[in-house]
Amino acid sequence: MDTTVTLTGTGTPLPVPGRAGPGTLLRCGEWAAQVDAGRGTVLRLAELGLRCPQIGLLALTHYHSDHLVDMADLVLTRWVQGEFDPLPVLAPEGPTARFARRVLDNWEDDIAVRSHHGGRPTPPALDVRTFTPTETPTTVWRSGTVDVSAVAVRHEPVEDAVAYRFDTSDGAVVVSGDTRVCAEIEQLARGVDVLVHEACRTEVLRARGKDFIADYHADTVELGVMAERAGVATLVLTHLEPGPTTGDEANTFAEEVRRGGFSGQLVVGEDHTTVPVSSEPVSSTAAVD
């Protein structure tokens, strides 16, 4: 298959060994898009055999630090590796777009010395494409055979958080970003081949007194209900909260999603989990139910 989805990071703000910060890579032939750039994204791409100049689009879901902290590394490494054209960046207008426009400000001195010493013709640059999130899916990008649409999601009090859908010649992929289970995601993901969605064991978090986390993330059982109703073929869980450190803990995520009634292919994501956008089996060491 020409189109695959790979998790470059399945973690959260709290570091868990083996889980980089949130990120999802879509590869469609020679074209590649990265959704979010959490800690360790550039290293994960290198482990996958990708150089940063091969990323043709960076799509940002919202402005939480765990989703953006490696963005400067991605842009600067792309430049150091010899790509001088601006990196196209999709961002919802508001705090996320403001961050994207300012992401290189703290690196002015480094850029100046590298430009002079290495004879680089231009400084690194971003082509930030912004849009206003809406409650219904809206096309925000087209490139060759790939159409990208976005919808506002429910991550309040975070403003202007979005999910993205990629329609390719092989099928459709939705990446949720951070959100509660909501009708907007269900509409965007209806009938998709692959839904990459954050997953939160809210019962566990509430028992630990972490209601403020559970309140704005996707409950696993509710996610199973929604994904089944939307007709999702393959559901891939990422941004796992609380971060599992054993296989048994990871399997509990799957058990709770199944309790919600989801009957499709289910993957509890690990970093490097790769899913073809087709009916082919999943290729990874991830827990598959």
Backbone angles phi, psi at 92, to 5 degrees: -65, 140
170 assigned to active site: no
Q: Is the Cβ–Cβ distance between 34 and 148 less than 8 Å? A: no
Q: How would you classify the pairing of strands 138-143 and 126-131?
A: unpaired
Q: Cα–Cα distance between 80 and 74 in angstroms, integer?
A: 10
Distance CA 8, CA 258 (A): 25
* Of 66, 160, 193, 219, catalytic: 66
How far apart, in whole angstroms, are the C-alpha atoms of residue 239 and residue 258?
18
CA distance 126 to 271: 27
End-to-end CA distance of the chain: 22
- Residues known to be catalytic: 66
